[in-house]
Amino acid sequence: MGEVEEEEASMVGLDQLPSALLATIMVKLDVSSICSVGSTCKTFRHCASHVLSFIPTIHLLEIAPSIELLRPLLPPNPLMRSLKMDCDRLNDSAIRLLVRPSLHELHLHNCADFSGKLLSEIGSQCGDLKSLYLGSVAENRGRALHVSDLEELLSGCTQLEALFLMFDVSIFIRHNFARAWALASTKLTSLEIGYISSVMITELLHPNLEPPHIQPSVLPRIQKLSLSVDYITDAMVGTISRGLLSLTHLDLRDAPIIEPRLTFDLTNSGLQQINQHGKLRHLSLVRSQEFLVTYFKRVNDLGILLMADSCANMESIYLGGFCRVTDTGFRTILHSCSSLCKLRVAHGTLLTNLVFHDIRATSLSLTHVSLRWCNLLTNLGVKNLVSNVDLRVLDLRDCKSLGDEALRAIGTLPKLKILQLDGSDITDMGLSYLRWRVITSLTSLSLRGCKRLTDKGISLLFEGSSKYELQELDLSNIPSISDDGIFSLARARLPILELRLRQCPLIGDTSIMALASMQAREEGWQGSRLRLLDLHNCGGITQLSFRWLKRPYFPRLRWLGLTGSVNRDMVDALARSRPFLHVACHGEELGADPSNRLDDSYMREYEDLDEFEQWLLGGEDSGDNDDDNDDVDDEDVPMEVAEFDAEMEE
Amino acid sequence: MRYLALPLLSQNLTESTARAQTLSLYLQLSLQVSLSQRNESTMSSSSSSLPSCPKKVVTLKSSEGETFEIEEIAALQSKTLENMIDENCADTPIPLPNIKGKILAKVVEYCNKHAEVGVDAESLRAWDAEFVNVENTTVFDYILAANFLEIPTLLDLTCQSVADMIKGKTPAEIEKTFNIKSAFTPEEEEQVRRENQWAFE
SS3 content of chain B, % helix, strand, coil (to 5): 60, 5, 35
Of residues B15, B159, B174, nearest to A37 (C-beta) = B174
| Amino acid letter for position B79 | K
Q: What percent of chain A has pLDDT over 90?
A: 62
Q: What percent of chain A has pLDDT over 70?
A: 87
Of residues A18, A524, A554, nearest to B177 (C-beta) = A524
The region of weakest confidence among A205-214, A290-299, A444-453, A614-623 is A614-623
What is the pLDDT at residue A250? 95
Could you give the residue ranges of the DSSP H alpha helices within B42-77?
Answer: 72-75
In chain A, residues with a C-beta closer than 8 Å to the C-beta of B154 are none
Produce one character per residue of A247-269: b if its CB has 16 or more CB atoms within 10 Å, e if not: bbbbbbbbbbbeebeeebbbbbe
Residue A604 burial by Cβ neighbours in a 10 Å radius (0-12, 13-18, 19+): buried
How far apart are the CA of A112 and the nearest CA of chain B, in angstroms?
A: 22
Helices A31-38 & B152-166, crossing angle to 10 degrees? 80
Contact B166 A581 (CB under 8 A): no
Indicate whether A192 pLDDT > 70.
yes
Indicate the DSSP class of residue A453.
-
Of residues B168, B169, B180, nearest to A13 (C-beta) = B180
Report which of A563, A514, A515 is spatially closest to residue A543, judged by C-alpha positions.
A563
Could you give the residue ranges of the DSSP H alpha helices within A366-441?
Answer: 379-385, 404-410, 428-432, 438-441
Phi, psi angles (nearest 5°) of residue A526: -115, 120
What is the pLDDT at residue A52? 94
In chain A, residues with a C-beta closer than 8 Å to the C-beta of B18 are none
What is the pLDDT at residue A616? 60
Mean pLDDT of A620-643: 41
What is the pLDDT at residue A23? 93
Query: Could you check whether the bond before residue A555 is cis, i.e. omega within 30 degrees of 0?
Result: no
The region of weakest confidence among A34-48, A49-63, A255-269, A605-619 is A605-619
Report which of A171, A170, A245 is spatially closest to residue A207, judged by C-alpha positions.
A245
Indicate whether A539 pLDDT > 60.
yes
Three-class SS state of A286: strand
Rounded to an integer, what distance in angstroms lies between the CA atom of residue B162 and that of residue A49?
A: 19
Report which of A233, A313, A300 is spatially closest to residue A273, judged by C-alpha positions.
A233
The DSSP element (H or E) to which A488 belongs, if any, is helix A483-491
Cα dist. A8→A1, A96, B65 in Å? 11, 49, 21
Calculated CA dihedral for residues A550, A552, A553, A555, nearest 10 degrees:
110
What is the pLDDT at residue A627? 41
Cβ distance A430 to A404 under 8 Å?
yes
Rounded to an integer, what distance in angstroms lies between the CA atom of residue A366 and that of residue A390?
A: 7
pLDDT digits (tens, 9 = 90+) for A361-396: 888 999 999 999 999 999 999 999 999 999 999 999
In chain A, residues with a C-beta closer than 8 Å to the C-beta of B145 are none
Cβ distance A352 to A371 under 8 Å?
no
pLDDT digits (tens, 9 = 90+) for B108-128: 999 999 988 888 899 999 999
Calculated CA dihedral for residues B15, B17, B21, B27, nearest 10 degrees:
100
Cβ distance A27 to A57 under 8 Å?
no
Residue B3 burial by Cβ neighbours in a 10 Å radius (0-12, 13-18, 19+): exposed
The region of weakest confidence among A168-177, A490-499, A501-510, A590-599 is A590-599
Cβ distance A563 to A540 under 8 Å?
no
In sequence order, which residues have a C-beta less than 8 Å from that of residue A180 and are 6 or more positions away?
Answer: A147, A150, A151, A154, A172
Contact B163 A69 (CB under 8 A): no
In sequence order, which residues have a C-beta less than 8 Å from that of residue A149 and are 6 or more positions away?
Answer: A116, A117, A118, A119, A120, A123
| Amino acid letter for position A204 | L
Contacts of B140-143 with C-beta under 8 Å, sequence gap 24+, read B140/A12, B140/A13, B140/A14, B140/A17, B141/A12, B141/B99, B141/B100, B141/B103, B142/B103, B142/B106, B142/B107, B143/A17, B143/A21
Residue A521 neighbours by CB distance under 10 Å? 12
List of chain B residues with pLDDT < 50: 1-13, 43-48
Contact B15 A38 (CB under 8 A): no
Residue of B nearest to A45 (CA): B192
What is the pLDDT at residue A47? 92
What is the pLDDT at residue A336? 92
Cβ distance A462 to A439 under 8 Å?
yes
Indicate whether A636 pLDDT > 70.
no
In chain B, residues with a C-beta closer than 8 Å to the C-beta of A529 are 168
Residue of B nearest to A66 (CA): B198
Cα dist. A566→A88, A541, A569, A587, B103 in Å? 28, 8, 9, 13, 59
Residue of A nearest to B192 (CA): A39
Rounded to an integer, what distance in angstroms lies between the CA atom of residue A103 and that of residue A101?
A: 6
In sequence order, which residues have a C-beta less than 8 Å from that of residue B113 and are 6 or more positions away?
Answer: B119, B124, B127
DSSP string, A92-118: GGGHHHH--TT-SEEEEE--TT--THH
Three-class SS state of A225: strand
Contact A24 B184 (CB under 8 A): no
| Amino acid letter for position A260 | P
Cβ distance A301 to A323 under 8 Å?
no
pLDDT digits (tens, 9 = 90+) for A413-432: 999 999 999 999 999 999 99
In chain A, residues with a C-beta closer than 8 Å to the C-beta of B143 are 17, 21
Half-sphere exposure of A474 (CA within 13 A, CB side): 20
